[in-house]
Amino acid sequence: MKNIFLALVVLVTLSTRVNAQGCVAIRTVGGLNTMEHAGMMHMGMDSTHAMPEPKKWDFNIAYRYFNSFRHYNGTIEQTQRITDGTEVRNFNRTIDLSLVRTLNDQWSIGVALPLIYNERSSKYEHISNLPSSPRFATSAGGIGDARITVYKWLWAPKEGRKGNLLGGIGLKLPTGNYKVVDDFTYKLNATRVGPVDQSIQPGDGGLGVTLELSAFRQINNTWSLYGNAFYLINPRDNNGVSTARGGTPTAAAIKYTSDVMSVPDQYLIRAGSNWTKNALTLSLGARYECIPTFDLIGQNSGFRRPGTVIAAEPGANYQFKKFNLYAYLPISIFRERNQSQPDILKTLDTKVFSRGDAAFADYAINIGIGYKF
């Protein structure tokens, strides 16, 4: 039975590592193992089992990879981009390190730090977006935005409890570099230095507040349900970093505020079920990630790619003594690029509907290992 809850540990770990599959700039904010460290092993056990002493520390290393290349405007895929070879290709790689300290049966605190290396291959950012134009790449790497979070169980863990809610509130710190620059080729054998695209910057430059809610419900010794919600509030309007790639912003970009990078909110909702047999747990759920057009707090100027990804999320978890091994594969089933505030301003001004596009991945790979001590 405890393996059910170990799976829940992993599922929530992945829920807090927000990072969408594409150049919709949902960036990682670090992975935290937020379930078992707070006393999950105290719950769901029948009276014939002894209540084990919970571990005080939980260390987790997780790796995430995806390659985005399918362009969407609204919900319509721009298939011609791949056909003519003008698609943008983002390669995103993240290692999340997290450490959680259990304070008592209800309270715990965690810190998380992502390590990031991203590459972006394109034509339009360089000489031109003609099919005959050469393709060039830019990259960015380093630490991402760290997070410190305090968690509390709604009900004190005890034997026989079949469900519970875990709430969390934290700070997202602007530790990641949001001004990384690289060379852009604006004509053959001529380059200029400028900030790389928002989607591959390790940080966003904003001090944020994170809100989390996680739930589980045990059905029987084999089946259980889970649900997670995560919201990052980023009050900062924009970070002032140019989007002109080393060039001069156009008059239209300045007029509609897309000449600098926005610092957007982001949120995630996940739900699904687990099936457990001995040390192995298999899971299947749905995952909804979003960069909204409008933030909860603050203004919405600057360039952003608001959008939505809905994915089916199969996964597997295996427990070995103090270790947890897991792998999850979110597979995109719905992608949408929404209007940003600059798009809306341009539409109102020109009376012609305007909306940019964004590239999305078909799937993401999440693998990791946790250790309790």
pLDDT digits (tens, 9 = 90+) for 38-64: 333 333 323 233 334 456 899 999 999
Distances, alpha carbon 66 to alpha carbons 23, 259, 361, in Å: 11, 27, 7
Q: What is the pLDDT of residue 17?
A: 52
Q: What share of the chain is helix, strand, coil (3-state, %, to 5)?
A: 10, 50, 40
133 within 8 A of 123, measured Cβ to Cβ:
yes
Q: Which of 58-67, 94-103, 148-157, 243-252 is predicted least confidently?
A: 148-157
pLDDT tier at 116 (50, 70, 90 boundaries)?
very high
Q: What is the pLDDT of residue 184?
A: 98
Per-residue pLDDT at 31 exceeds 60: no
Q: What is the pLDDT of residue 162?
A: 87
Residue in this structure with the two tokens 């091994």, named with its chain if needed: 325
CA R_g for the chain: 22
Domain that holds residue 313: 2-372
Per-residue pLDDT at 294 exceeds 50: yes
Instruction: With CA atoms as reference, report the closest residue to 291 among 300, 283, 282.
Output: 300
Residue 61's H or E segment, with its range, is: strand 57-73
* Average pLDDT value for the chain: 88
Taking residues 153-172, report their average pLDDT.
87
Share of the chain above pLDDT 90, in %: 80
Taking residues 284-299, report their average pLDDT.
96
Q: Domain tally for the chain?
A: 1
The C-alpha atoms of residue 308 and residue 291 are separated, in whole angstroms, by: 7
Give the contacts of 370 (CB within 8 A, at least 6 positions apart). 9, 10, 13, 33, 58, 59, 60, 61, 323, 324, 326
The pTM for the full model equals 0.88
Share of the chain above pLDDT 70, in %: 85
Per-residue pLDDT at 21 exceeds 60: no
Per-residue pLDDT at 12 exceeds 60: no
The C-alpha atoms of residue 303 and residue 81 are separated, in whole angstroms, by: 22
Q: What is the pLDDT of residue 20?
A: 54
Residue in this structure with the two tokens 């990078």, named with its chain if needed: 261
Amino acid type, 351: K
pLDDT tier at 125 (50, 70, 90 boundaries)?
very high
Q: What is the pLDDT of residue 22?
A: 58
Beta strand pairing call for 323-328 and 266-277: unpaired
pLDDT digits (tens, 9 = 90+) for 307-333: 999 999 999 999 998 999 999 999 999
Q: Which of 41-45, 187-191, 208-212, 352-356 is predicted least confidently?
A: 41-45
Q: What is the pLDDT of residue 6?
A: 43
What is the domain-level CATH number for residue 185? 2.40.128.130
pLDDT digits (tens, 9 = 90+) for 228-261: 999 999 999 999 999 999 999 999 999 999 999 9
Q: What is the pLDDT of residue 157?
A: 73
pLDDT tier at 66 (50, 70, 90 boundaries)?
very high
